[in-house]
Structure 1
C-alpha cells in the first residue's frame, strides 16, 4: 500500500493529528502512491480553512488554540499542486443543543462545533471507496464517541467492509472506532503500530523492517 499499491489507491485522513496527515498527504501525492486523498475530521477542517472558509468561532478557536493554523500555508501549497486529487468535505454536521444538524459550506461560518462530515460528503467518499483497489484509513472523520456523530465513521467503514479493496486501518482512534462498530474483522489489515505506521506511510524505512530485510538477505546467501 505504500510502495506499489494496486490502483486506484485512496488515503482517508481524518482524526486530530493534522500535522501527520499533512506529511502523509504530501508524500503519497508527490510520489504518486495515492490517486486521491480524502480529508475529514480536524484535517478536513484545516483543508477547508486553506480553501478560504471561515468555520466559525468555536472551530477556529480550537484550531488556533492547538496551533494548527500554522499548517495552513503548507496545505494551500498542496491544494494548488494537486487540486483534483484532494477531496475536502462539501457539508458538515454540527452539534446544536446536543443534536446533529447538517449544514452546507455556504452556511458557514457557524457558532456551533463541527463534529462530523455530512451526507453529501459521505456519498462522495463512499463512491471513491467503492472504486478503489487499495485504501488506507488513518483517523476517524467525526467524533465517533458521540452516537449522533458516528454516522460518517460508520458509513466509510461499512463501505470499506463491502468493497473488494485491500483495506488498511491504522491509529488508535481508528482502531477503537472500527472495533466499536464491529467491523474490524472485515478489514484486510489493522495496524497497531501507531507512530511507526505514520513513519511507514511517509516512506521511511522502519528499523524492524530493515533488520528483517537484512536477515532475509543473509539467509538467502547461506
Structure 2
C-alpha cells in the first residue's frame, strides 16, 4: 500500500495531531514498562525539531465512554516527560474548550497530551462529530499507533478521513516490516505458529498456508494436529473437537504447496512445574499418563536447518511451555537460530503477538530479529489478511 510518511509533510509552524499508543502497564501510580513510550519518541522529535507543535491523542484502559479518574492519561505524563526530556502540557479533555485552550497556549516545539479519548462514548463508535472536534485542533494528522489500527475509532480512522494524514515512524516501520514479511517477501518464506489453541488461530493458519512455503506448528496447537494424524498424546493439551479442522488445514496446505512441519520428538512430564522431571521421546511414544510440554532437540535441529534455507521468517507463538524450564528449550533454541541467521544477513525475521514478544525477550534475542511488533491484536489481524481500518485510512 502507498501512504505518506513524516518526510512528506512540512511541520514548520503547524500543529500535528499524533495518535499514539501509550496504554502502558502501571503499578502504584507509576509506569512499569515504558517501551511503548520510547517507541513514539522518534515521531515526536521529528515534528518538534521541524518547528511543529505535537498534540498527542491516546486511549488508556477501558473506561467505556465514561470519565474514570483512575484511567486518566495524566498519570502517564511524568513518564512521557522523563522519556522526552522536556515538559509535556496536559489538557483535561481531547475536544472542546480545555483542548482548544491548551493547543493555543502551546509553543512551536512543544508537546501536549490530551485526556483519554475513550472517555467519550463516540470514540469506539467512530463518531463523526467527535472526530471533527479532534480534527479542529490541528493542521495535520499523524497515526503512530499501529497497535490500535485494527479498530475503526474516531481518533484513528475518523480523523484521518477529515485532514491531511501520514504515518509516524513506528507505524511506518511496522507497515514496512509486514510488507517484507508477507506482502512482497523474499522466498522461501517460513512461518512459525505456536500457542495453545487451533481455534484461536484458524484465520491465521488459513491465510498463511496460501502465502508461505513452510509452516511450523508448535505448542498445544501441534498436539491437535498430531491427534488428527492418529498419534497418541497422553494427557496433553489438545482440542480434540478440532481434529477435522486440522486435517482440512493440512489438506489445503498440500494443495497450496505449503509444507507443514510438526514435532518429530517431544519433551514430556507428569506435572507442569518448574524443573519437573522430564524425558525426551519420539513423537509417537508419549506415555498415557504424561503431557507433551515442549518439542525435542531433533525437532529443533530440523527447524534450524529449515531456517538456514529460507529468506523470510514470520513468527507468532512459542513452540512449548516457554514460561518455565526445562520446557523453554525448543523456543529458546529456535529463536536463537533465527537471530543468528538474521544477524548474518541471511534471514528477514518479523515476529509479534503477546506471548511471542515475551518468549523472544526470555530467549534474549528480541533485539536481534529484523522487527518485533508489540501491536498484539493488530499484528495478528494483519497476518490473518484482515484490512485494518486505521491503516486503510492512510492510503493515498
**Short-chain TM bin:** 0.7 to 0.9
Cα drift, residue 96 of structure 1: 4.5
Cα drift, residue 26 of structure 1: 1.6
With normalisation by structure 1, the TM-score equals: 0.86
Question: Alpha-carbon deviations, 1:78-103, whole Å to 9, x = none?
Answer: 21233461111111101247123111
Q: What aligned pairs does 1:1-222 form with structure 2 within 5 A after superposition? A: 1-30=181-210, 33-56=211-234, 58-59=235-236, 62-63=237-238, 68-83=239-254, 85-96=259-270, 98-163=276-341, 164-213=346-395, 217=396
Range 181-190 or range 81-90, more displaced = 81-90
- Larger Cα-atom Rg: 2
Q: CA RMSD in A?
A: 1.6
Describe the shift of the 1:199–1:25 C-alpha distance in structure 2 as closer, same or farther (beyond 3 A): same
Describe the shift of the 1:41–1:111 C-alpha distance in structure 2 as closer, same or farther (beyond 3 A): same
Cα drift, residue 109 of structure 1: 4.5
Return the alpha-carbon distance in structure 2 between the equivalents of residues 40 and 100 of structure 1.
Answer: 18
Cα drift, residue 17 of structure 1: 3.8
Cα drift, residue 168 of structure 1: 1.1
SS in 1 for 2:216: strand
Range 14-23 or range 186-195, more displaced = 14-23
**What residue ranges of structure 1 are gaps of 5+ in the alignment?**
218-222
Cα drift, residue 151 of structure 1: 0.7
Cα drift, residue 191 of structure 1: 1.1
Describe the shift of the 1:3–1:70 C-alpha distance in structure 2 as closer, same or farther (beyond 3 A): farther
Which structure would you say has the larger RCO, counting Cα contacts within 8 Å and 6 or more residues apart? Answer: 1
Are the counterparts in 2 of residues 2 and 203 from structure 1 also a CA contact under 8 Å? no
Are the counterparts in 2 of residues 20 and 198 from structure 1 also a CA contact under 8 Å? no
Structure 1 partner of 2:14: none
Question: Alpha-carbon deviations, 1:161-187, whole Å to 9, x = none?
Answer: 011211111111111111122211101
Are the counterparts in 2 of residues 158 and 183 from structure 1 also a CA contact under 8 Å? yes
SS in 1 for 2:320: coil
Kindly indicate which of the two structures has a greater share of residues assigned to helix: 1
**What residue ranges of structure 2 are gaps of 5+ in the alignment?**
1-180
Range 10-19 or range 111-120, more displaced = 10-19
With normalisation by structure 2, the TM-score equals: 0.50
Return the alpha-carbon distance in structure 2 between the equivalents of residues 202 and 79 of structure 1.
Answer: 17
Return the alpha-carbon distance in structure 2 between the equivalents of residues 20 and 127 of structure 1.
Answer: 29
Question: Alpha-carbon deviations, 1:58-112, whole Å to 9, x = none?
Answer: 21xx43xxxx323221110121233461111111101247123111123135311
Return the alpha-carbon distance in structure 2 between the equivalents of residues 194 and 72 of structure 1.
Answer: 27
SS in 2 for 1:2: helix
Are the counterparts in 2 of residues 22 and 75 from structure 1 also a CA contact under 8 Å? no
Are the counterparts in 1 of residues 231 and 284 from structure 2 also a CA contact under 8 Å? no
SS in 1 for 2:393: helix
Range 3-12 or range 70-79, more displaced = 70-79
Cα drift, residue 160 of structure 1: 0.6
